[in-house]
Amino acid sequence: MSFAVVIDAMAIPHDARVDQRVPKRLLLEHGAPTAADKRQIQDGVEEILWVAAFKPTNIGVQAFRDDVREYLEIAVLTATLRAAAKPTRIIELLHRAIRFPLVLIGACGDSVILSLAHKRWSQGEGGKVVIEDVRRTAPFRPDAPNAEEALFLASIGLSSLPGLDLFALYQGWIDRLAALEAAGITGAFAPPDSAKRASALRDGLGTHTRLRRDIAVLRAQAAKENN
């Protein structure tokens, strides 16, 4: 199973393993605000497994708290998706359904998508948590990775990540997702080694995305004028 390659790469300590199946009804109750979303989960998800829970007590990384968010635990889940699933929406729904920051490994066939999303306190509803941008890899085969994907997998083990606190740890994974996305453009996988470089990388990827979108709009306009 493709999950095993990614899970092995994360080097999860035995004490952090959970390995429990998550009933879909829990996600239907907590992560599906509309009838269409409920159908997405019901029809698109085959199985969800809670693989691990990273806590200060089992990985030796302290919790994080400030006025914006509180990270007491990081959950690792796998989701087996059916062929007819719409991965983008299902991934978002799963991140919304889990209160803790989540490392989600979604698989459809032989390919996987690794996704993460920071969470913060809701400004409008006290005690509720909302997600920020969902960051995800493009689908790839971890059992047959290209050179950049192999370097990415080699970089996501706990010992390779920042250990200041759980927020820094989680941000480390997000930075590696950004580096893999950039590698698809530059051909070189280079995780940022400082907060300043991580910010510059995110800004560069944002600029690249906007430029590609602008170019697509201009091409569409030119095609209309030529017809």
pLDDT score, position 1: 58
Q: How many residues does the chain have?
A: 227
19: region left, alpha or beta (phi > 0 left; psi from -120 to 50 alpha) = left
* Six token digits for residue 53: 């829970």
Angle subtended at Cα 87 by Cα 174 and Cα 168, rounded to the nearest 5 degrees: 15
Residue ranges, the chain, pLDDT below 70: 1, 227
What global pTM score does this model have? 0.90
Shortest CA distance to 34 belongs to which of 82, 113, 96?
96
- For residue 176, give every residue at least 6 positions away whose Cβ sits within 8 Å of its Cβ, in sequence order, or none: 152, 155, 156, 191
pLDDT value at position 223?
78
* Tens of pLDDT, residues 126-143: 778 999 989 999 999 999
